Amino acid sequence: MPIKSYLAHPYQGQKMELYNTLSQLEGCEVIPAENKDVLILVTDTETSKQEDALQEKLNMIKSIKLLAMVAGFNASKN
Amino acid sequence: MYTSTLSNRRDFIKKMAVLSAMTAAATMFPGILFAEEQERGLPKGGNLDWKKAPCRFCGVGCGVLVGVENGKAVAVKGDPKSPVNKGLCCVKGYHSVMSMYGKDRLTHPWVKKNGKYVKTSMKEALDIIAEKMQTTIKDYGKDAVSIYGSGQWTIPDGYVASKLFKGCIGTNNVEANARLCMASAVTGFLTSFGSDEPMGCYEDIDHADVFVLWGNNMAEMHPVLFSRLLDQRLKRGVKIIDFATRTTRTSMASDKSIIFQPQTDLAVANAICYEIIKKGWVNQEFVSKHCNFSKGSTNMGYGLEDKYSFNDKPEKISFEEYKEFLEDYAPEKVEKISGVSAKDIKYMASYYGDPNKKVMSLWCMGMNQHTRGTWINNLVYNIHLLTGKISTPGNSPFSLTGQPSACGTVREVGTLTHKLPHGVVMNKAHREHAAKIWDVPVENIPSKPSLHTVEMFRALDRGDLRFMWIQVTNPMVTMPKLKRYRDATKKEGRFIVVSDIYPTPTTDIADVILPSAMWVEREGMYGNSERRTQYFEQMVQPPGEAMSDTWQLIEVAKRMGFEKQFYYKEETHIEEIYNEYRKHHEGKKHGMAPLEVLKSEPGAQWPYVDGKSTQWRFNSKYDPACSNDEEFHFYGKPDGKAVIWQRPYEPAPEVPDEKFDFWLCTGRVVEHWHTGSMTRRIPVLHKAMPHGYVELHPEDAKKMQIRTGDAVRLTTRRGTMKLPASVNERGVPEKGQVFVPFFDENMLINDLTLDAFCPISKQPDYKKCAVKVEKA
């Protein structure tokens, strides 16, 4: 049941597009930086299967230049 | 701690994940903002009560909203109503409430009995302190006792400390750690303008076209203000010039990075003035109406000897004499000693000289922690005075501070040996004014300053001083040439009281440890770098028997027989003290806002006159204290004129030689606030920066076959220690130089530093000494 946080770096001029794409994904919370081309992405999935599926979706996003993981926690539900 | 107040563990972990990412982002991108997240606040769904306060950490004085839930402070967000930070927060501010709930918080007093700490009641501890002070005064005289506080003291803390020691006991042995961080700024202001603290304000950032950062790593030390600079670059294309001895996050984010050799900022500042005069950029009308020229003593020494004393002997000079003096500082000549190309010197001068550009100079420790700290402050003012770029929106020489109330408490309340709340102890009228308000005989207040900070610890070593009460500061990490002063505290017949919130290397040397209430666990006020006084109410209960430093001092004062002067009631004492304090500053030059204003607004800037804050002092358009019917009035000086000082370049007291062949510079990092006693107890910040290190230039590292993480031995004439290397990571020093942060109490870099100080300000220089560097 992992919770992970990433710094998501978009391709130039695609920050809003990336923000919109990530925001629509289930299990994703996105916090855009106000003044830099970077977004914080927090993923929260229930199972390893869901996590793998989400990773696949993230890999397919074209506006992501780099997705750098910062923290990862394998947390229980509560 | 933090987890218990959130709805569940998973929420907490998620929040930790966010904060880890924010911390990482902040170190990668100086000045990065996540305003949306801050606005949303941390916990969700809770029944939070948001209350305003100034931030607990640096001197910027950001307005924050503290979220309180079930009697605990659980969240922080930037206050959108605050004109300081406009809703923004930095990583430290964002985590600040967590610093209140460390596992090892001091909750009860400890008294050393037969070499062992014994837990005791607050009543007994305060009895012991009062009795010990009285017997010390009886046996050794009133100058054998002292108090050493800090720029984290609230205004009431510092006020009662000064009243007790200067007014009641009758000793000027009152000092604060701000002596270590901004005393040179004070003497710079006093010598140039006759009045302390910046004439401008943070709103200058919104007007300036060019920012020159003098030895000031703002991206890490003042991230919210640096964000405001970057924001202006985005909106208006302003220029940021980083003038420093080391490449930092600030250099990387600036438009231009100019590196100078340590101590040679003095020569470069003079070279800029040379160029301004040579190119005919002097604002003749401003200078002739509003400035005098003076020179002072030179070759003053460096305060390395005990009982060193110095008094400057100012002499008026003419503009022609000043111009002749500057002949030695032609950019081509200065290039040779400073390492700054004549082209770059002329580049900086051209911005200062351009009448169509508004320039803001910003500085902090680089200029203040300097054996010629007063001089370099004077020299930067010279640049602004020659060009008339001062006291108008966007034209602003601005010294930043590092602590939340270095200005409010240390400079304004006057908790330094020579100061009073209004004026100085040397001035009879000022002593009479203070004595009247304090309700003490004027003879109680000695007319001579006694011990400044370094000399106070030297006096403890010599045995001239027998009792020291240390509040809200950690000198056993921060004193230069630390070993001498640590050993001094352990000598027979010395009695040390330490009031703090956590165990530190300073509580380790205490005879009595008092647990303090911190920040919003009590009521108080801080004063920030732009003359803004901000109030905060008590929002939560302090743990155990922890008590505010104000009330600790009042309790001891009463026990010593000063009930008449310390008449305050427990439930209203902060209001009573503030109202009494305001009397010292009454008038147009320094009037303080009434408490009800501070309670309802995000602070007020003194001089507060006729219900209005003053943003730009000395400018008759904004400052009601101007009375000379001119556009500007530097009323701190008797003739209303500011002083342009002739101050030469002089070398540092200890320069690299054959044996100790590197420069050692010390400083801070974005994650930790000063000695880390609070921020190292915040898991996210501690994990982001867990220990100290030594930065080397990549070529030096390669030559010595040192890689990041390798152990490096540093040796100075004071001591030796091992630290892990950092090569090409956060900061990059120049060749022949190393940098070490001082936050890590397990790697006490101040065991190696030198206790040389500016003879005028008495502020030590932590930025320059000679060190030998070896692979361990």
State the ipTM, two decimals: 0.94
Inter-chain CB proximity B16 and A71 less than 8 Å: yes
Residues B580-604 have a mean pLDDT of 97
Amino acid at B235: K
Whether the CA torsion B386, B387, B388, B390 is positive or negative: it is: negative
Q: Which of residues 37-66 of A touch B (CB under 8 A)?
A: 38, 40-42, 44
A68 CA: distance to closest CA in chain B (Å)? 10
B234 CA: distance to closest CA in chain A (Å)? 8
Q: Which tops the pLDDT comparison, B437 or B92?
A: B437
Q: Which segments of B632-765 does DSSP mark as H helices, in order? A: 683-688, 698-703
Asked whether B149 and B473 are in contact (CB, 8 A), the reply is yes
Residues of each domain in chain B carrying CATH 3.40.50.740: 110-181+404-567
Burial level of B92, CB count in 10 A (0-12/13-18/19+)? buried
Whether the CA torsion A21, A23, A24, A27 is positive or negative: it is: positive
Tokens found for residue B412: 């304004």
Q: Which of residues 4-33 of B touch A (CB under 8 A)?
A: 8-10, 13-14, 16-18, 20-22, 24-25, 28-29, 31-33
Strand pairing class (B110-113; B512-515)? antiparallel
Phi–psi pair at B89, nearest 5 degrees: -145, 155
Residues of each domain in chain B carrying CATH 2.40.40.20: 662-775
A9 CA: distance to closest CA in chain B (Å)? 11
Q: What secondary structure does DSSP assign to B450-486, as a single string?
A: ---HHHHHHHHHHTS--EEEEES--HHHHSTTHHHHH
Q: How is the beta sheet containing B315-317 ordered, strand by strand?
A: B315-317, B291-295, B642-646
Q: Tens digit of pLDDT for each residue in B201-218?
A: 999 999 999 999 999 999
- At residue A77, the pLDDT reads 45
**CB-based contact (8 Å) between B44 and chain A?**
no
Q: Tens digit of pLDDT for each residue in B82-116?
A: 999 988 888 889 889 999 999 999 999 999 999 99
Residues of B in Cβ contact (< 8 Å) with A31: 18, 34, 36-37
Of the candidates A33, A36, A40, the beta carbon closest to that of B18 is on A40
Inter-chain CB proximity B18 and A32 less than 8 Å: no
Residues of A in Cβ contact (< 8 Å) with B13: 3, 73, 75
Confidence of residue B490 (pLDDT cuts 50, 70, 90): very high
Inter-chain CB proximity B25 and A7 less than 8 Å: yes
Mutation to test the A interface, candidates B20, B90, B228, B236, most A Cβ within 10 Å: B20
Residue B38's contacts (CB-CB under 8 Å, 6 or more residues apart) are B77, B78, B87, B88, B89, B94
Cα B651 versus chain centre, distance: 24
Residues of B in Cβ contact (< 8 Å) with A73: 13, 16-17
Phi–psi pair at B51, nearest 5 degrees: -130, 145
Confidence of residue B770 (pLDDT cuts 50, 70, 90): very high
A76: nearest CA in chain B?
A: B10
**CB-based contact (8 Å) between A33 and chain B?**
yes
- At residue B41, the pLDDT reads 45
Beta bridge partners of B316: B294
- Closest residue by Cα to residue B193 from B291, B70, B267: B291
pTM: 0.89
With a cut of 90, say whether residue B743 has pLDDT above it: yes
Q: How far is CA B328 from CA A13, B214, B273, B378, B514, in A?
A: 51, 22, 12, 18, 55
Asked whether B61 and A69 are in contact (CB, 8 A), the reply is no
Tokens 């910027």, residue located? B60
With a cut of 90, say whether residue B665 has pLDDT above it: yes
A10 CA: distance to closest CA in chain B (Å)? 14
Pick the CATH number of B110-181+404-567 from 3.20.20.110, 3.30.70.141, 3.40.50.740, 3.20.20.150: 3.40.50.740
Q: Tens digit of pLDDT for each residue in B267-290?
A: 999 999 999 999 999 999 999 999
Fold of A2-74: Alpha-Beta Plaits (3.30.70)
Proportion of chain A in helix, strand, coil states, percent, rounded to 5? 30, 40, 30
Residues B236-243 have a mean pLDDT of 97
Mutation to test the A interface, candidates B9, B14, B15, B232, most A Cβ within 10 Å: B14
Angle between helices B342-353 and B331-338 (to 10 degrees): 120
Q: How far apart are CA B214 and CA B364, in angstroms?
A: 8
Residues B263-269 have a mean pLDDT of 98
- At residue B17, the pLDDT reads 77
Active site residues of B: 92, 181-182, 365, 402-403
Q: Count CB pairs under 8 A between chains A and B.
A: 81
Phi–psi pair at B225, nearest 5 degrees: -65, -40
With a cut of 80, say whether residue B27 has pLDDT above it: no
Q: How far apart are CA B525 and CA B377, in angstroms?
A: 28
Percent of chain B with pLDDT strictly greater than 90: 88
- Closest residue by Cα to residue B396 from B621, B619, B661: B619
Of the candidates A4, A31, A75, the beta carbon closest to that of B9 is on A75
With a cut of 60, say whether residue B45 has pLDDT above it: no
With a cut of 60, say whether residue B7 has pLDDT above it: no
Asked whether B695 and B731 are in contact (CB, 8 A), the reply is yes
Residues of A in Cβ contact (< 8 Å) with B36: 31-32, 34
Tokens found for residue B680: 């190292």
Inter-chain CB proximity B10 and A77 less than 8 Å: yes
Inter-chain CB proximity A4 and B17 less than 8 Å: yes
B22 CA: distance to closest CA in chain A (Å)? 7
Strand pairing class (B694-696; B737-741)? antiparallel
Inter-chain CB proximity B34 and A78 less than 8 Å: no
**CB-based contact (8 Å) between A69 and chain B?**
no
- Closest residue by Cα to residue B152 from B185, B126, B181: B181
Secondary structure element (H or E) that encloses residue B598, with its range: helix B595-600
Q: Tens digit of pLDDT for each residue in B141-196?
A: 999 999 999 999 999 999 999 999 999 999 999 999 999 999 999 999 999 999 99
B36 CA: distance to closest CA in chain A (Å)? 7
Q: How far apart are CA B339 and CA B330, in angstroms?
A: 14
Confidence of residue B563 (pLDDT cuts 50, 70, 90): very high
Inter-chain CB proximity B25 and A31 less than 8 Å: no
Mean pLDDT of all residues belonging to chain B? 95
Q: How is the beta sheet containing B532-536 ordered, strand by strand?
A: B524-527, B532-536, B604-605
- At residue B666, the pLDDT reads 98
Q: Which of residues 407-436 of B touch A (CB under 8 A)?
A: none
- Closest residue by Cα to residue B509 from B494, B493, B490: B490
Inter-chain CB proximity B29 and A38 less than 8 Å: yes
Inter-chain CB proximity B18 and A75 less than 8 Å: no
B726 CA: distance to closest CA in chain A (Å)? 21
Of the candidates A32, A34, A42, the beta carbon closest to that of B18 is on A42
Strand pairing class (B239-244; A64-74)? unpaired
- Closest residue by Cα to residue B45 from B86, B15, B81: B15
- At residue B542, the pLDDT reads 98
Q: What secondary structure does DSSP assign to B544-594, as a single string?
A: TT-B-HHHHHHHHHHHTT-TTT----TTTHHHHHHHHHHHHT-STTTPPPP
Residue B694's contacts (CB-CB under 8 Å, 6 or more residues apart) are B712, B714, B723, B724, B725, B726, B738, B739, B740, B773
Inter-chain CB proximity B18 and A76 less than 8 Å: no
Q: How far apart are CA B776 and CA B770, in angstroms?
A: 18
| CATH number, span B183-299+313-400 | 3.40.228.10
Phi–psi pair at A32, nearest 5 degrees: -80, 145
* Superfamily, domain B2-100: ADC-like domains (2.20.25.90)
B23: nearest CA in chain A?
A: A70
Confidence of residue B234 (pLDDT cuts 50, 70, 90): confident
**CB-based contact (8 Å) between B140 and chain A?**
no
Residues of B in Cβ contact (< 8 Å) with A3: 10, 13-14, 17
**CB-based contact (8 Å) between B439 and chain A?**
no
Phi–psi pair at B56, nearest 5 degrees: -75, -20
- Closest residue by Cα to residue B716 from B653, B674, B624, B671: B653
A33: nearest CA in chain B?
A: B34
Cα B49 versus chain centre, distance: 31
Residues of B in Cβ contact (< 8 Å) with A75: 9-10, 13
**CB-based contact (8 Å) between B231 and chain A?**
yes
Largest CA distance in chain A: 39
With a cut of 60, say whether residue B413 has pLDDT above it: yes
Region for residue B715 given its phi and psi (left: phi exceeds 0; alpha: psi -120 to 50; beta: otherwise): beta
A67: nearest CA in chain B?
A: B21
Of the candidates B18, B20, B33, the beta carbon closest to that of A34 is on B33
Going by the DSSP 8-state scheme, the letter that residue B427 receives in this structure is -
Inter-chain CB proximity A33 and B29 less than 8 Å: yes
Tokens found for residue B699: 């070529």
- At residue B14, the pLDDT reads 78
Domain boundaries, chain A: 2-74
Residue B115's contacts (CB-CB under 8 Å, 6 or more residues apart) are none
Q: What secondary structure does DSSP assign to B301-342, as a single string?
A: --S-STT-------EEE-HHHHHHHGGGG-HHHHHHHH---H
With a cut of 70, say whether residue B52 has pLDDT above it: yes
A7: nearest CA in chain B?
A: B21
Beta bridge partners of B424: B419
Q: Which segments of B608-750 does DSSP mark as H helices, in order? A: 683-688, 698-703
- Closest residue by Cα to residue A30 from B74, B17, B2: B17
**CB-based contact (8 Å) between A71 and chain B?**
yes
A60 CA: distance to closest CA in chain B (Å)? 22
Residues B240-247 have a mean pLDDT of 98
Of the candidates B9, B21, B230, the beta carbon closest to that of A40 is on B21
Inter-chain CB proximity B18 and A6 less than 8 Å: no
Confidence of residue B4 (pLDDT cuts 50, 70, 90): very low
Beta bridge partners of B78: B64
Inter-chain CB proximity B18 and A5 less than 8 Å: yes
Tokens found for residue A28: 């994703």
- At residue B21, the pLDDT reads 80
Residues of A in Cβ contact (< 8 Å) with B34: 31-34, 40
Class of domain B662-775: mainly beta
**Through-space distance between the first and last CA atoms of chain B, rounded to whole angstroms:** 40
Q: How far is CA B416 from CA B277, B404, B456, B690, in A?
A: 38, 17, 11, 34
Residues of B in Cβ contact (< 8 Å) with A27: none
Residues A8-25 have a mean pLDDT of 90
